[in-house]
Structure 1
Amino acid sequence: MLELLICSLLTIFPDYLYRRYVQGKRFGREITLFSVWFELRWGIVTCAMLTVALITVIFYNHPSTTSATVFFRTVPIIPEVNGRVAEVHVGASQAVAKGDLLFTLDNKTQAAAVEAARRKVAEADAALAVAKADILANEGKIQEAKSSLQQALDELRTKTDLQRRNDGVVAAREIERLENIVAGREAAVASVTAARDADQTRIASLLPAQRASAEAALVQAEVELQKTVVRAGFNGRVEQFTLRVGDVVNPFMRPAGVIIPEEAGRGRLLAGFNQIEAQVMKVGMVAEVTCISKPWVIIPMVVTGVQDFIAAGQVRSGEQLLDAQQVVRPGTILTLLEPLHPGGLDGVTPGSSCVANAYSSNHDVIADKETGTLRRIALHGVDATGVVHAVLLRIQALVLPVQSLVFSGH
């Protein structure tokens, strides 16, 4: 309507002035309801063509959309293990801080595993103490065996000397007996020494490895026990938390609720513009939005990201071939908008629906010395038409609350 009024001032109004003051025709006489088309046909046709051209230029170079929303992320509250709820520590809707306890699961099995792992560690420590005591006992046995061996060697040496001096004094059988005793006692010394070395090896390698395995099992059991305690991972607000004691929670099928991060929906806005405006939308464009949750306020924004893909064309592997007719609604160019000034979205409720305008700027092209005069004039005109779109957005901001409260039927 605003474009039509502007164009009529440049076409129909001059045509009327020509008919009125040059040809002397007046309303109610020569210009009537039945002859207005014939009399003002040039102005009406030119007005229609100029209005269509102006609307095309405005909406192409200064895109507008009503598909703008302050999206925010929700995080499901789920434990890492299945279990039955033992305690609930928060309400259905409540602000929480990082580390706050949300709920706990029944942990009897995990607690028993932790106790068993601790006993394994204690068992490894006891085995180490026993091995050290065995070393001390084996040291005593080694000394005893060496003493017995030395006694047998001395007796064998004495009898051998006597036999060499006088062959008939010591019988050969006695020498053989003493030699067998020496060999047996040497074997006893070697056996006790080997037992001591085995105990030393156990202390140096086997028992520390067993204790390390027991400690690792204890740590694993304690981790499994901690999984039964669910805490908030960040500052936010718990919503739809209807969990009660006795409920069974499944991390794959049954979350306990959702937690909304504290900064969710506070710093950016996503808008979907028409596909025909894909060549116009650029990072750095200035934009404006007005949101239904913050009426009568125009928020200056800037385009910080333009998605290179249209979500409607997404393909997922399945059992059936893709049919292009299945894409009923054409997708939009997803654009990320952020406030031009800090705190620009303060007061806008996350999830709020908004109306967004983006404005093209051809300042660099106009300032380029290689740009022709006619093109500069045309680009100046294109940039100037953004004022019309800005006025339209402000009219929408004024009408939006009335339309929502009065004409929506609620």
Structure 2
Amino acid sequence: MTTPATNPAPYKKYLVIALVAVTLLVLLFVIHLVDREPRTDDAYVYADTIDVVPEVNGRIAELAVRDNQAVKQGDLLFQIDPRPYEDALARAKASLVALDKQIALTQRTVNAQQYNAQSASAAVERARAAAAQAADTLHRTAPLLSQGYVSAQDVDLARTAQRATQAELAAAELQARQAAAAVSGVDALVAQRAIVEAEIAIATLNLEFATVRAPFDGRVVSLKTSTGQFASALKPVFTLINTRQWYVVANFRETELRGIHVGTPATVYLLSDSGQRFRGTVDSISYGVLPNEGGIALPGGLPHIERTLNWVHVAQRFPVKIRVENPDPELFRIGTSAVAVLYPGRGSDAGRH
């Protein structure tokens, strides 16, 4: 008796249906996961940088760093020849010493002039008293002439004495005014001393500026000079990366920004070593990017992010700046490609497992 062959068609149909159902479930799970934990590989490492510029002109006498070297805050970066500034400081200090001696000498002269003025003032008082006495004598003597108690000669002598004392008083007053005018003082020299002190302060500051030290822990980059090169004030010598804090700037679609705020936990890793994960938090979210349609021209400084599809309208992306906790100083370099995952709506412990 022959057994009829089993028809495999229904089983294949059920298998296809099951695969489709599993695929849909996986797709829904991925969409749900992406909505809960936005992720992007359009990210890069960033750190703050400064241009290291001298504040005085001079030839570089010592270059204490090399390109790509790590430095600590306070380390010597380079030394500009200090001799011109040392000479300027010594000259200003010598000017102050000479001016102090001149002030002391002038003060002694002023003291003598003041003594002369005081003496002249005393002479005026004596002359004024003598003139007053002579006038009183004349006033008492003149009426006695008509009564015969005094002679005409006595009256003439009294009148002459009165005129003489008046002349002496006028001379004494003139001498007193001249003595007072001669008291010049040292105000001008004292004002000049303030100018010299300001010159000393500037010379001291310039001498300090000749020594350039690291303002923070960092790494030297773009060093293209050497000892002996003339450095001009306010012109960069090299760039210093601030390695005290590293960031990852990740570009997220505008539809993913809902629920993301400052402090949102994040996990990042670098493509140079995808095996290491680094925790972080959102430091800030950009409030402007440069549009690339409609002919709108905005001032420079706004981020310009290319859209990958030109034939359909895609969501704009905005930079999200993530502060990285405990970054590996050997891995983090500005511009390194990175991947970032955010955990909106979670506590500060999210993404730390």
With structure 2 as the length reference, what TM-score do the two structures score? 0.67
1:13-92 aligned at under 5 Å gives the runs 24-26=6-8, 42-43=17-18, 46=21, 49-50=24-25, 52-81=27-56, 83-92=57-66
Structure 2 CA distance for partners of 1:255 and 1:275, relative to 1, 3 Å: same
1:19-53 residue CA offsets vs partner (Å, 9 max, x unmatched): xxxx9434xxx599xxx6x7866456555555544
> Is residue 167 of structure 1 aligned with residue 152 of structure 2?
yes
Query: In the alignment, what sits opposite 2:144?
Result: none
> Is residue 211 of structure 1 aligned with residue 197 of structure 2?
no
Residue aligned with 1:121, SS:
helix
Residue aligned with 1:168, SS:
helix
1:391-406 aligned at under 5 Å gives the runs none
Q: In 2, distance between residues paired with 1:72 and 1:160?
A: 99
1:308-347 aligned at under 5 Å gives the runs 308-313=286-291, 316-317=298-299, 328=307, 332-337=317-322, 343=326, 345-346=327-328
> Is residue 297 of structure 1 aligned with residue 279 of structure 2?
no
Amino acid at match of 1:73: D
Residue aligned with 1:70, SS:
strand
> Is residue 354 of structure 1 aligned with residue 341 of structure 2?
no
Alpha-carbon shift at residue 161 of structure 1 (Å): 5.5
1:151-300 aligned at under 5 Å gives the runs 164=141, 166-168=151-153, 176-177=163-164, 179-196=166-183, 198-199=184-185, 202=186, 206-252=188-234, 254-265=235-246, 268-279=247-258, 281-282=260-261, 286-299=265-278
Residue aligned with 2:100, SS:
helix
Does the aligned pair in 2 maintain the 1:292–1:354 contact within 8 Å? yes
Q: In 2, distance between residues paired with 1:59 and 1:96?
A: 41
Alpha-carbon shift at residue 350 of structure 1 (Å): 1.3
Query: In the alignment, what sits opposite 2:93?
Result: 118
Alpha-carbon shift at residue 123 of structure 1 (Å): 4.8
Q: In 2, distance between residues paired with 1:145 and 1:247?
A: 68
Structure 2 CA distance for partners of 1:316 and 1:121, relative to 1, 3 Å: farther
Q: In 2, distance between residues paired with 1:206 and 1:145?
A: 25
Structure 1 counterpart of 2:74, from 99, 105, 109: 99
Q: In 2, distance between residues paired with 1:159 and 1:283?
A: 99
With structure 1 as the length reference, what TM-score do the two structures score? 0.60
Residue aligned with 2:276, SS:
strand
For this pair of structures, how many residues does the alignment match? Answer: 316
Structure with greater proportional helix content: 1
Structure 2 CA distance for partners of 1:156 and 1:328, relative to 1, 3 Å: same
Does the aligned pair in 1 maintain the 2:130–2:165 contact within 8 Å? no
Amino acid at match of 1:297: Q
Q: In 1, distance between residues paired with 2:76 and 2:266?
A: 42
Q: In 1, distance between residues paired with 2:39 and 2:50?
A: 32
Does the aligned pair in 2 maintain the 1:310–1:331 contact within 8 Å? no
Does the aligned pair in 2 maintain the 1:241–1:256 contact within 8 Å? yes
> Is residue 307 of structure 1 aligned with residue 285 of structure 2?
yes
Q: In 2, distance between residues paired with 1:269 and 1:282?
A: 15
Q: In 1, distance between residues paired with 2:55 and 2:206?
A: 9
Alpha-carbon shift at residue 302 of structure 1 (Å): 5.1
Does the aligned pair in 1 maintain the 2:59–2:231 contact within 8 Å? yes
Does the aligned pair in 1 maintain the 2:283–2:323 contact within 8 Å? no
Q: Give aligned-pair identity as a percent.
A: 21
Structure with greater proportional strand content: 2
Does the aligned pair in 1 maintain the 2:131–2:166 contact within 8 Å? no
Amino acid at match of 1:237: R
What stretches of structure 1 of length at least 5 have no aligned partner? 1-22, 319-324, 364-389, 391-410
Q: In 2, distance between residues paired with 1:106 and 1:128?
A: 35
Residue aligned with 1:311, SS:
coil
Q: Which has the higher contact order (CA 8 A, sep 6+)?
A: 2
Structure 2 CA distance for partners of 1:80 and 1:156, relative to 1, 3 Å: same
Q: In 1, distance between residues paired with 2:132 and 2:267?
A: 113
1:359-379 residue CA offsets vs partner (Å, 9 max, x unmatched): 56689xxxxxxxxxxxxxxxx
